[in-house]
Structure 1
Amino acid sequence: MESLTFHITGAQILRPEGWTDAPLGVAEGICTDVRAGRALDLAGFRVVPGIVDAHGDGFERHLARRRGAMLDMEEGVRACAGELAANGITTAMLAQFYSWEGGMRSPEFARQVIAAVAGANPCVVPDLHVQLRFETHMLGDYEAVKTLVAEAGIRHLVFNDHLPHDHLDRGKRPPRLTGTALKSGRNPEAHLALMQALHDASGDVPGAVAHLAADLRGVTLGSHDDRSAQDREFWRGVGAHLSEFPETREAAEAARAGGDAIVLGAPNVTRGGSHNGNVSAEELAHAGLCDALASDYHYPSPRRAALKLVAQGMEFGEAWALISSGPARILGFDDRGEIVPGKRADLVMLDEGGQVAACFCAGRLGFMAGPVAARLF
């Protein structure tokens, strides 16, 4: 899909130094100050950098609209790409589990998702990547994960631990065991036995994690759901310098003090708090304890969260950076996240109400509706 050549006039354009109404050119997929191609009069609109989504699993509903109904996974990825563009997301990390939990979180499903994304990427407009969410207690899979990351070109891996350790420590059946077992395709007793075996090997996990992290050079590594400063200290020590969705302010403050990046959930901001009682992302963002707001499970939320922070008094450029230049920086995307000559023309046009009116990724049209479309055509 070829990029378009055009230049924008009349709009308020968000540059790193602030708003400007100077014309912006787009040619060969990058931003330029040269007026090129046809003029697109966007008076009354704001042009902002495309959203870089550091973690989102909303794609799952496109891959399996109903449990077991995965007829063509690549078509599902294409449908997801359309939703991403309609929400101004030009770069997306699709957060896929590699987990003992089975089902849509199984290693086999992860490999299918990776293949589907690779197959769909040349045909879609947003830039899609897979973030691998690896369960730390799967000691028998460490070599397989290292190979998968290398072969698939995975650039972002996050360590997870979803074992119910408290219950397993006491020899109790975890809550909702039957439901989770059925999702995994196992009977409840077999599922419980697997969890217990993984839990019993906990003493071997820290050393294994350290060795795997050392082998994953060039991969952005993170931890998930840090609860304490000690958690963050461990992960920083093995080279996982990204704290994803810290559950407490203590963990977030420890990340900031140690120079680590902090990713928070945008839905946490839009709903005014965590759905499970964790620290408020809104509170952390206003306290400067946030580098990126991610869609988590809801693709409209990054844009809505940034605009909510602006309505609460945060400067627009600072709020929008949490969904553009901030995540681009921590994920190593040096060519995007800002409207700067020479960087990718990942652009979102917002109408007066803050809705996405158009979205371009590397100069390619991903979404356009309403008055913007009327002006172009």
Structure 2
Amino acid sequence: MIVNNVKLVLENEVVAGSLEVQDGVIRAFADSDSRLPEAVDGNGGWLLPGLIELHTDNLDKFFTPRPKVSWPAHSAMSSHDALMIASGITTVLDAVALGDVRDGGDRLDNLEKMINAVIDSQQRGVNRAEHRLHLRCELPHHSTLPLFQQLVEKRGVSLVSLMDHSPGQRQFVNPQKYREYFQGKYHLSDEQMDAYEREQLENAERWSQPNRHAIAELCRTRGIALASHDDATEAHADESHQLGSVIAEFPTTVEAAHASHQRGLQVMMGAPNIVRGGSHSGNVAAHELASLGVLDILSSDYYPASLLDAAFCVAASEHNTFTLPQAMSLVTRNPAKALGLSDRGVLAEGKRADLVLAQRHGEHIHVNHVWREGIRVF
């Protein structure tokens, strides 16, 4: 296959030309068009590496489309996969939460069903994107470690993140914010909220640190990438670094982002944060970290289409120095590097032909076509 008449977004520059694919990998690219009549006309669009998504809970929406509605696994997985590909995402880590999540039980009830759907569909070769697993471990709970020990052996586990959503920790350093969030989410009375808060504090005191160290040790032993989550202070970043984390997921302050970046962790922020112009929970804005030069990876989190939109937003912003290739690295090369996926993430000879053809229509960037390993899937 040859794609003609495109703007190739390479590692360090944008070049007008063409790209040739053979046997699922990029064979060559040139700063001129091919004269072969069978070449695909890119109509002057951008040809990008396939996007790489490290943290999305988008899968939940399809397995539980409404409260107390459980959807058939095959249909849920297929719909989720189609949306990821339509968003230009060719490698996706589906995030599943372990531990007490108190979402009406839906996530916990669906856990095995979702994990099996990801693994089975990938093994059967029916997915358009390549799907892997991201285990999100809620540390302050007695069930987290036994469940993790069981699931870490599953095929496709590529990332583990350590979370602590107890009051006074990380995302909820401000106890009042904690109360507002959970009372609003679960419709708890003041009395119920008091009891819930006491329970979470007791669980955190007993389980958080033992679980943190045990899970990190298992990840080091198995060579699985480890991520921190919602670090808020330099001390948090120090601890994450010492545990062997390679990614700092959603640091909540400039201090934590700077400290993580200095210690070699890849700082990951939400693409919706970029598109919306700030954090919906009032934490540090991703565009501020971009302007400070401490933003390394973007994740679509809860909105898949935001990943490509955010990369172009970063490149167009007057408040940072990111070129388009550098901005695209936030959603391609850098996440691939963090996971040790050396076969993808850039347009280069010998790399996997995961490709996205995108064009601007007015103010919006549209995905026209997507290829995975040289096969057109959208």
Judge same fold: TM > 0.5, yes or no: yes
2:24 counterpart of 1:29: yes
Secondary structure of 1:147's counterpart equals helix
2:134 counterpart of 1:131: yes
Inter-partner Cα distance in structure 2 for 1:280 and 1:347? 29
Percent identical pairs in the alignment equals 27
* Structure 2 match to 1:115: 116
2:357 counterpart of 1:362: no
Inter-partner Cα distance in structure 1 for 2:45 and 2:349? 20
Question: 1:291-302 maps to which residues of 2 (within 5 A)?
Answer: 291-302=296-307
After alignment, is 192-201 or 230-239 more displaced?
A: 192-201
Spell out, residue by residue over 1:247-272, the C-alpha distance to the aligned partner (whole angstroms, 9 max, x if none): 10000000011111110001111111
Spell out, residue by residue over 1:195-229, the C-alpha distance to the aligned partner (whole angstroms, 9 max, x if none): 64452243443233212211223111111111111
2:271 counterpart of 1:266: yes
Secondary structure of 2:342's counterpart equals coil
Q: 1:177 deviation in Å?
A: 5.8
Q: Which amino acid aligns with 1:48?
A: L
Inter-partner Cα distance in structure 2 for 1:93 and 1:357? 23
Equivalent residues of 1:54, 1:263 under 8 A apart = no
Unaligned runs of at least 5 residues, structure 2: none
Inter-partner Cα distance in structure 2 for 1:274 and 1:322? 18
Equivalent residues of 2:315, 2:323 under 8 A apart = yes
Spell out, residue by residue over 1:83-102, the C-alpha distance to the aligned partner (whole angstroms, 9 max, x if none): 11111111111222113124
Spell out, residue by residue over 1:30-78, the C-alpha distance to the aligned partner (whole angstroms, 9 max, x if none): 1111889941122412201111112112232222221122230221111
Inter-partner Cα distance in structure 1 for 2:317 and 2:186? 43
After alignment, is 148-157 or 129-138 more displaced?
A: 148-157
Secondary structure of 2:58's counterpart equals coil
Unaligned runs of at least 5 residues, structure 1: 1-5, 368-377
* Structure 2 match to 1:253: 258
Equivalent residues of 1:78, 1:124 under 8 A apart = yes
Q: 1:120 deviation in Å?
A: 2.3
2:239 counterpart of 1:237: no
Q: 1:13 deviation in Å?
A: 1.1
Inter-partner Cα distance in structure 1 for 2:51 and 2:3? 19
2:110 counterpart of 1:79: no
TM-score, normalised via structure 2 length: 0.85
Q: Which amino acid aligns with 2:248?
A: S
Equivalent residues of 2:24, 2:352 under 8 A apart = yes
Equivalent residues of 2:138, 2:144 under 8 A apart = no
Equivalent residues of 2:52, 2:335 under 8 A apart = yes
Question: 1:1-377 maps to which residues of 2 (within 5 A)?
Answer: 6-33=1-28, 38-102=38-102, 103=104, 106-121=107-122, 122-165=125-168, 174-175=179-180, 196-204=198-206, 205-216=208-219, 217-313=222-318, 314-353=322-361, 354-367=365-378
1:37/1:362 CA distance change after superposition, 3 Å: farther
Spell out, residue by residue over 1:294-352, the C-alpha distance to the aligned partner (whole angstroms, 9 max, x if none): 10111111111111122224311011111111111112221111011111111110124
Equivalent residues of 2:246, 2:338 under 8 A apart = no
Q: 1:193 deviation in Å?
A: 5.9
Secondary structure of 2:26's counterpart equals strand
Inter-partner Cα distance in structure 1 for 2:19 and 2:11? 14
Inter-partner Cα distance in structure 2 for 1:178 and 1:65? 23
Equivalent residues of 1:54, 1:331 under 8 A apart = no
1:105/1:327 CA distance change after superposition, 3 Å: farther
1:37/1:264 CA distance change after superposition, 3 Å: farther
Inter-partner Cα distance in structure 2 for 1:60 and 1:106? 7
1:46/1:145 CA distance change after superposition, 3 Å: same
